Amino acid sequence: MSRRSDNQVTIRQVAKEAGVSTQTVSRVMNNIPEVLPETRQHVLDVVNRLGYRPNVFARGLKQNRSYTLGVVTSGIEYYGPSRTLVGVEQKSNELGYSLSLSLLHQPEPENIQRVLGSLISRQVDGILWTTQEIGANLSWLNGEKLSIPVVFLEASPRPGVASVNIDSRMGVRQAMQHLLENGYRRIGIVTGPLSWWAARERLQGWRETLADADLVVEERQIVEGDWSTGSGARGLKQLLEMYPEMEAVFVSNDQMALGVLQTCRQLGRQVPEDLAIVGYDDIPEAEYFWPPLTTVRQNLTELGGTAVEMLTKMISARWQIDATYSPGCVWLEPELIIRSSSVRSSATSNSRGGEPTQNP
């Protein structure tokens, strides 16, 4: 069947083509869970084939909803927040919601109240708070009663607050266990800015893994960066001054790891023979660093999409479409990607008393 223009295709035509009721099509388009997965996929296939797009404006008037999600974000110059927004946009579009974006440059309490008030006045159905937790910028949650559903991303869990996080501690523990299995024992860290909750979580994962391995943790093994490539370069130089016996370094994001790799080259240190390096993020360029960078992959588009799904379910529950839905904190698992920057040869490993882990 040929693809029709949007204004020609109705929900009844979709239902007839799919062999289901209009109520089923409506449930699929509104992401209501009371539809079998195979039926949902079949309806979506028909929707895409026919080019059906619901009239969001008319639907909103009928249900007294705007079908718009507010998005509060900041730090989009960084890889993580920008990729998360891609996932938010993709999933929102898939579920028939538009977005109203507010960029928070300085997450101070007075700015937060202004942004919240502006979004609520625009009659958004819910808010995605994608701004990273930095310092006390979420302290307003302690006494705030919001009139619409809100989902927080990359924020410390709080009772009664809906949030979606990637388990940074788990990711760092995977990375550190990999280094330990390859025989490294003297491991430093370049952290992110420790005012960020995510940076503190990564540091804690590093500490916990060394402690579990009965290795002493000293403050001279820790240098704070600011996520930038330059801070990675400076951080490595500081670590080598304070901790010259260091065999490996965990770097809390790939941008800083690039600075670490460049500094190693400038100082004549071979990677991983003289110093093993593991990053975090798995930015697209990581496999093209030299040597290719071992890193922790976090699915940031999934993070954004999962948050949108949670928020739309909260909205449906508010309108009694799925009144039983009760959100909490969802944790997504990262994945260690092993490349050449952390896997040394058998000869080097045996000379230091460890067994290498082969790169798959």
Token pair in block for residue 159: 């009772």
pLDDT, position 55: 55
pLDDT, position 62: 45
Task: Tokens 């979606």: give the residue.
Answer: 164
pLDDT, position 33: 62
What span, in angstroms and rounded, lies between the C-alpha atoms of 92 and 250?
35
- Distance (Å) of CA 5 to CA 2, 49, 236: 10, 11, 58
pLDDT, position 96: 87
Q: Residue 287: what are its φ and ψ, rounded to 5°?
A: -75, -10
In a shared domain, residues 340 and 317: no
In a shared domain, residues 252 and 270: yes
* Interval 157-210: pLDDT, tens: 988 889 999 999 999 999 999 999 999 999 999 999 999 999 999 999 999 999
Q: Is the pLDDT assigned to residue 353 strictly greater than 70?
A: no
Minimal CA–CA distance to 134: which of 201, 207, 233? 201
Residue 359 lies in a domain: no
**Confidence band, pLDDT 50/70/90 cuts, at residue 348:** very low
**Confidence band, pLDDT 50/70/90 cuts, at residue 112:** confident
> What mean pLDDT is predicted for residues 89-98?
91
In a shared domain, residues 260 and 287: yes
H or E element at residue 100: strand 98-103
* Interval 273-327: pLDDT, tens: 999 999 999 999 999 999 999 999 999 999 999 999 999 999 888 766 556 667 8
Contact 155, 129 (CB under 8 A): yes
Residue 14 lies in a domain: yes
In a shared domain, residues 115 and 93: yes
How many helical (H) and strand (E) elements, i.e. helices and strands, does the chain have? 12, 12
Residue 215 sits in which domain range?
168-298+336-351
What span, in angstroms and rounded, lies between the C-alpha atoms of 359 and 212?
24
Residue 360 lies in a domain: no
What span, in angstroms and rounded, lies between the C-alpha atoms of 151 and 278?
31
In a shared domain, residues 182 and 313: no
In a shared domain, residues 84 and 159: yes
Q: Is the pLDDT assigned to residue 135 strictly greater than 80?
A: yes
Q: Is the pLDDT assigned to residue 349 strictly greater than 70?
A: no
What order of strands is seen across the sheet that includes strand 248-251? 222-224, 187-191, 248-251, 276-281, 294-297, 335-337
Token pair in block for residue 171: 């990711």
3-state secondary structure of 24: helix
What span, in angstroms and rounded, lies between the C-alpha atoms of 12 and 338?
51
Q: Is the pLDDT assigned to residue 248 strictly greater than 70?
A: yes
Answer with the residue of higher pLDDT: 115 or 313: 313
Q: Is the pLDDT assigned to residue 31 strictly greater than 80?
A: no
For the chain, how many structural domains are there in total? 3
pLDDT, position 54: 62
Answer with the residue of higher pLDDT: 27 or 356: 27
3-state secondary structure of 136: coil
Contact 305, 225 (CB under 8 A): no
- Distance (Å) of CA 190 to CA 50, 62, 170, 257: 52, 54, 17, 9
In a shared domain, residues 184 and 282: yes
Average per-residue pLDDT in the chain?
85
Q: What is the CATH number of the domain that holds 174?
A: 3.40.50.2300
- Distance (Å) of CA 312 to CA 14, 127, 278, 332: 23, 10, 37, 19
pLDDT, position 192: 97
Q: What is the CATH number of the domain that holds 32?
A: 1.10.260.40
What span, in angstroms and rounded, lies between the C-alpha atoms of 228 and 251?
11
- Distance (Å) of CA 155 to CA 18, 20, 63, 87, 197: 41, 41, 32, 17, 7
pLDDT, position 193: 96
